[in-house]
Amino acid sequence: MTHDATTPMSGQYQNLLAPVIKANKLSAANLETLVNFQMSALQSYVDIAIDRMKAAAEISDPASLQAFMTSQAEAIASLQRKFVDDARILSELTVRFKTEFDQLARDSLSVIK
C-alpha cells in the first residue's frame, strides 16, 4: 500500500526536478567550456609575455634595441588583435549559453502548463 502511494509522488518529484537537473548539467557543461577557453587564452598571454621578456633580454646594443622596439610594436598589434578575437569568442559563448538557458526555460514552462 505504501509503495502505491509513493509511486505517484516519486513521478511528480522527478517531473519537478527534471528542469533543475537539466539546468545543472547545462551549467556544468558551459562552465567547463568557459574555463577551457580562459585557460587557453591565459596560456597564450603567458607565452606572449615570456617571448617578449626573452626578446628584451637579448638587447645588447642600439641596433638590437631598435629591432626589439620594432618587434614590440608588432607584438602589441598582434596582442590587440588577440584581445579583440578573444572578446568576440567570449561574446559568442555568452550568447550561446543564454540561448541554451532560454530554451531550457521555455521547455520547462511548457511542461508546467
pLDDT tens readout for residues 67-97: 999 999 999 999 999 999 999 999 999 999 9
Whole-angstrom distance, CA of residue 100 vs CA of residue 74: 39
Number of domains in the chain: 1
Set of cell numbers at residue 26: 547545462
Print the domain residue range for 76. Answer: 2-112
pLDDT greater at residue 78 or residue 12: 78
Set of cell numbers at residue 65: 634595441
pLDDT, tens digit, 9 for 90 and up, residues 33-58: 999 999 999 999 999 999 999 999 99
Average pLDDT over residues 9-28: 84
Whole-angstrom distance, CA of residue 94 vs CA of residue 87: 10
Whole-angstrom distance, CA of residue 58 vs CA of residue 73: 16
Average pLDDT over residues 54-66: 97
Rounded to 5 degrees, φ, ψ at 61 are -160, 175
Task: Indicate the DSSP class of residue 58.
Answer: T
